[in-house]
């Protein structure tokens, strides 16, 4: 019996020294083959238990040695595998796993509203024109019939650009206070085209001027030193105030819903005559009067009027032949009405908790 056991131990010792595994699966097979309950080493121990006492004393130590040899070999193989390139590949990210959802960005509420305004007016023939934010006095004020002493030309209201040794020097370079400056550029270009090539020049002008404008105001919940406008201009023969009213009524209903009413109140702008401010019926209370509309049932949304003949002439357009209307609205104002944003500063602070509340499309 002991001779047989001796052979078995010798064979298993040789097996242990020759153990090889290319993967943890193969290693597991070996573990089961030798060390599991029914494994070859364990079976020897079972056999050992049946030995008479005197034989046990002889075989206990070699059997334990054999078991430890298997355990160390297995551990060595395990360590080798853990370090093998194949195993490192196994630890690599599982590319077939369902990925975590990627947080989609949202569009800024001012972009959403600007796009919507442009979309509504583009359906009645308006196209978009662009112009510089840093402008000269001529395009922002001079050609728009502002008197030389007009308060908007004061540094209290307008940011002038040039400085010398940190001191503001008299200059006519400024940050535009409205996008009407783009209108003066577009009108001048159109009148040139009309003069140069009357056959091929467009017979009318219908543009939207969206953009950022700057005013020298203290920043608060209700005012900011910059905001966004979309101004509109339509010049043709026989453009009337009724055309202006109809275009604005169409806009109000498209923007705020078909039941929206408008009202025009006389106002004053240097570049339009007559001028008006437009209110829409308060969509919060349906015109009955609430805290939002200060009990009036109306909220102001834009300024408008018929282009002053002086403006047409300063841009080279014959005011005896052409008339036109213009309007200008604040994008923040419309966004406030749509989304009830109480604090203007939220629009420029880039707080994701605010921004992610808006749908991207
Ligand atoms: N430019 C004016 C403003 O910034 C708005 C306006 C435009 C008013 C066109 C009338 C006509 O306040």
| Residue 172 pLDDT class (50, 70, 90 cuts) | confident
pLDDT reading at 344 higher than 70: yes
User: Range with the lowest mean pLDDT among 57-61, 262-266, 294-298?
Assistant: 57-61
The kind and range of the H/E element at 311 are helix 309-314
Best residue among 151, 226, 244, 271 to mutate for probing ligand 1's pocket (most ligand atoms within 8 Å of CB) is 271
Question: Nearest to residue 181, comparing CAs of 243, 222, 231, 224?
Answer: 231
Beta carbons within 10 angstroms of residue 20's beta carbon: 10
Best residue among 326, 330, 331, 333 to mutate for probing ligand 1's pocket (most ligand atoms within 8 Å of CB) is 326
Residues 6+ apart with CB under 8 A from 118: 126, 128, 208, 210, 230
Residue 98 carries which DSSP code? Answer: P
- The pLDDT assigned to 250 comes to 98
On the CB side of 236, how many CA atoms lie within 13 Å of its CA? Answer: 14
* Protein residues whose CB sits closer than 6 Å to any atom of ligand 1: 178, 180, 231, 269, 272, 303-305, 326-328
| Residue 35 pLDDT class (50, 70, 90 cuts) | very high
pLDDT reading at 141 higher than 70: yes
**Token pair belonging to 42:** 């364990």
Sign, CA dihedral 166-167-172-174, equals: positive
User: How much is the average pLDDT of 289-306?
Assistant: 93
**Token pair belonging to 164:** 């010398």
Sheet holding 205-214, edge to edge: 127-128, 205-214, 226-236, 323-330, 298-307, 272-281, 262-269
For the chain, the first-to-last Cα distance in angstroms comes to: 85
Residue 304 CA to ligand 1 centre (angstroms): 6
More confident position, 212 or 99:
212
Burial zone of 306 (CB within 10 Å; 0-12 exposed, 13-18 middle, 19+ buried): buried
């Amino acid at each position: 019996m002991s001779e047989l056991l001796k052979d078995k131990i010798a064979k298993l010792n040789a097996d242990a020294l020759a153990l090889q595994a290319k993967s943890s699966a193969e290693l597991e097979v070996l573990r089961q083959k030798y060390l599991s309950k029914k494994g070859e080493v364990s079976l020897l121990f079972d056999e050992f238990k049946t030995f008479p006492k005197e034989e046990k004393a002889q075989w206990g130590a070699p059997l334990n040695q054999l078991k430890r040899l298997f355990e160390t070999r297995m551990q060595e193989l395990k360590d080798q595998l853990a370090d093998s390139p194949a195993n490192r590949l196994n630890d690599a990210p599982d590319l077939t796993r369902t990925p975590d959802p990627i947080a989609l960005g949202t569009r800024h509420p001012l972009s959403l509203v600007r796009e919507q305004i442009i979309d509504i007016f583009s359906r009645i023939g308006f196209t978009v024109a662009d112009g510089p934010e840093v402008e000269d006095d001529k395009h922002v004020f001079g050609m728009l019939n502002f008197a030389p002493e007009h308060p908007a030309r004061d540094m209290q209201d307008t940011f002038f650009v040039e400085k010398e040794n940190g001191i503001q020097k008299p200059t006519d370079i400024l940050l535009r206070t409205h996008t009407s400056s783009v209108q003066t550029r577009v009108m001048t270009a159109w009148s040139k085209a009309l003069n140069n090539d009357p056959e091929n020049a467009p017979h009318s002008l219908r543009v939207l001027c969206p953009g950022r404008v700057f005013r020298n105001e203290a920043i608060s919940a209700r005012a900011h030193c910059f905001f966004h406008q979309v101004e509109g201009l339509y010049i043709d023969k026989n453009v009337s105030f009724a055309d202006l009213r109809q275009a604005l009524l169409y806009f109000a209903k498209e923007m705020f819903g078909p039941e929206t009413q408008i009202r025009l109140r006389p106002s004053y702008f240097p570049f339009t005559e007559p001028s008006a401010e437009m209110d829409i019926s308060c969509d919060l209370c349906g015109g009955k009067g609430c805290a939002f509309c200060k009990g009036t049932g109306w909220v102001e949304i834009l300024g408008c009027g018929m282009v002053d003949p002086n403006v047409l002439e300063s841009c080279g357009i014959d005011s005896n032949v052409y008339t036109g209307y213009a309007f200008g609205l604040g994008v923040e104002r419309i966004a406030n009405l749509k989304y009830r944003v109480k604090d203007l500063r939220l629009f420029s602070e880039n707080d994701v908790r605010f921004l992610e509340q808006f749908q991207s499309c």
